Structure 1
Amino acid sequence: DSRPISAPRDEPSGEVPLCDQEDETIDHILVSCVFARQFWFRFLGQVNLQNLSPQPDAHSFIDWWRLASVAIGGLTEKGLNSLIILGAWVLWNHRNRCVFDGTSPSLPAILVQAEEERYLWELAGAKGVSFLTAPLHVDSFSDAMTGSDTIGDYWGDAPMSMLPIYKELIAAGLRIWVFSGDTDAVVPLTSTRYSIDALGLPTTASWYPWYDNKQVGGWSQVYKGLTLVTVRGAGHKVPLHRPRQALILFQHFLHGISMPNVPQNGTIV
């Protein structure tokens, strides 16, 4: 809609609150505004659809939406439509906060709000976004991070102990590797070893050092049905602290090969 927005009685008319431009219209707020274009690029980029975000020559929200929907089609179109409806609502809500509450435009804040709204929409039964996230087997999308408060706040189905699950998986013949950084202060290695000992599994290879490029990379112990591997000098997030050693560990797991117990070069299989 290109019609100007009437100012409320207690608010003087003036510049667009999101970009300080004149002649505020719904189309400008949703697609033409620089702030809006930045929002759509980041928001759609979270599901790799940033190429569909409004371009500088976009001046009609409905026309842009129609072109974006036609560009993809299929089930993905349903997910995109849900995102565009949600994004438009969040933009409008953010604009109103700037007008009525005196807040300043904030791209990080509106992206956080968009993620929160998406979560609430799905709780209410709006599953359109799942057409975009389901192929990735994820229930959420956001910028990459090393930890998530959202997961910590809402994840409530974690079992008290993984040991019964380990027993079921071992009985089913699945191969299990448990790894730990030996400087992990969140889940200490000592506690992990006590937990594994509680399973009462027979030992097939006793505690031994494994090597990476003639240096001790960590230690390992092999049980019947389970392998424990530690990574020297790594904390709670092993790949973050010791990426090379984490890769060696992962490759050996994929190949079903125990960690190398002889100092040598080129231990990456």
Structure 2
Amino acid sequence: MIEPPKENVDRALWRAVAEAATQFTPVTAALARLYQTTHPSQFQKDVERWHEVVSDTANDHEARLQTLEAAHQPKLKLSPDATALALWLAETSAYGLEDPIGFDAVSAAFPEAAKRDLEDAAAELASFGLVKTSAAFGHPVRLVRPLSNLFALFDPLVKGVSPQDDAAILAAKALELDSGNVPGLMEALGWDARRLNPALMLLMSVIPGPISQEISRDLATRFFAMTPDTRVALKRLRSEP
């Protein structure tokens, strides 16, 4: 069995999902699927009511999140093995990109874990859309590729920043500078590539493009066009609920 994290992260994971669900910031498919594995219709109804009566005050925001948490958090679980693997993937990522990692490197990181436990943990994360795995003959899991969804969920735990919040900040800066030059935006914000990329990938999932396909070692993209449609999408992301 994989050595589980020393602290219980269930509540923090729940908060990452709930904050994404109750804000007008990018909500990825994986985050949605995590809470939909509980009681999806009831959760969605509760979130809709939350939006109908939400206050502008932070205190009221927190109180309403606590109400949602009391009803749904106990049902939201990842296994300790999958959580440990996800935390490791987020912690060790140099750039926060969807770069594949060989299963041998995963095994080396968890020397006490059985191969089957590691494979099952990777498969569980893949079932939630947090990673993609690829197989080879004799190797059910040969590569593990962390996806932007994983960083969106786990970066608040391992980096202390929210890619959802950062996506809104990035959108506002792009509008302020009227620029989709990513290196320039990164410099203006004072962020490194590890912080920028998870937010940038969320941004790329909701803006219509065009988005540069130039291959970059450290950036998800180097440029996106500031078309009228892109500006409309960015304005939605920076808006407060």
TM-score normalised by structure 2 residue count = 0.25
1 or 2 for the larger relative contact order (CA 8 Å, sep ≥6)? 2
Q: For the pair shown, which has the larger CA radius of gyration, 1 or 2?
A: 1
TM-score (ref. length: structure 1): 0.23
Structure with bigger helix share is 2
> Greater share of strand residues, 1 or 2?
1
